[in-house]
Amino acid sequence: MSAGDQTIRAAGFEDAEAIFRLIKRYPEELLPRPLSDIVQNIDRFLVCEAAGAVAGTVSWQILPEIGAPRDPSVEIKSLAVDPAHRGRGMGKALIKAAIGHIAALHPSQVIVLTFHPDFFAPFGFRPVPKEKLMHKIYMGCVNCTKYDSPFTCPEIAMAFTPGRA
């Protein structure tokens, strides 16, 4: 997908270090991800190139569902746009492209935990109680060093079902 000088494409192993550096730029907003985690999940990353360099990224993770193995949720995570490229539609284009990939899987819902609910609302995401996302809370938040509980964390949980937004 291309717009202006921006091209969104599937990430390759050669992008892993650039993705690692991009995520590390936002320690307040994003959970850090080891390079090994990025490499092992590179097929679940998109990057946005601008002027031949990686300037944005997004990824997703399939969350297991107890009792509903054929109907899992998918979490969008690690959305980051290089500060020099913010405000030019790159974040929006990355989310749109990620939703396109995820929607083809027909998940029961797409979720996100975010400090920026207004950014996600136009895509159909709506706030949901964190209790509804217990798998995510267990898997993603159990190692958090910032907050003692997901319920004291100020991030907003949001969800939507592709095709029903």
Ligand X SMILES: CC(C)(COP(=O)(O)OP(=O)(O)OC[C@H]1O[C@@H](n2cnc3c(N)ncnc32)[C@H](O)[C@@H]1OP(=O)(O)O)[C@@H](O)C(=O)NCCC(=O)NCCS
Among residues 46, 63, 91, 158, the one that binds ligand X under rule CB under 6 A: 91
50 forms part of the interface with ligand X (CB under 6 A): no
Task: Among 79, 98, 99, 133, indicate the residue that binds ligand X (CB under 6 A).
Answer: 79
> Within positions 120 to 149, which residues make up the interface with ligand X, using CB under 6 A?
none
Does the protein bind ligand X through residue 5 (CB under 6 A)? Answer: no
Size of the site for ligand X (CB under 6 A): 18
Task: Establish if 7 lies at the interface with ligand X (CB under 6 A).
Answer: no
Q: Is 81 in the site for ligand X (CB under 6 A)?
A: yes
Q: Per rule CB under 6 A, is residue 150 in the interface with ligand X?
A: no
Nearest residue to ligand X, scored by beta-carbon proximity: 91
- What DSSP letter does each residue of the chain carry, written as one string? -EETTEEEEE--GGGHHHHHHHHHT-TTTS----HHHHHHTGGGEEEEEETTEEEEEEEEEEEP-TT-TTS-EEEEEEEEE-GGGTTSSHHHHHHHHHHHHHHTT--SEEEEEES-HHHHGGGT-EE--GGGGHHHHHHHHTT-SS-SSTTTS-PEEEEE-TT--
The answer to whether the CB of 59 falls within 8 A of the CB of 77 is yes
Q: Are 116 and 80 in contact (CB under 8 A)?
A: no
Tell whether residue 29 is a contact of ligand X (CB under 6 A): yes
**Cβ 8 to ligand X shortest distance, Å:** 12
| Shortest reach from residue 159's CB to ligand X, in Å | 13
Applying CB under 6 A, does 80 fall inside the site for ligand X? yes
Where along the sequence are the contacts to ligand X (CB under 6 A)? 26, 29-30, 79-81, 86-92, 112, 114, 116, 118-119
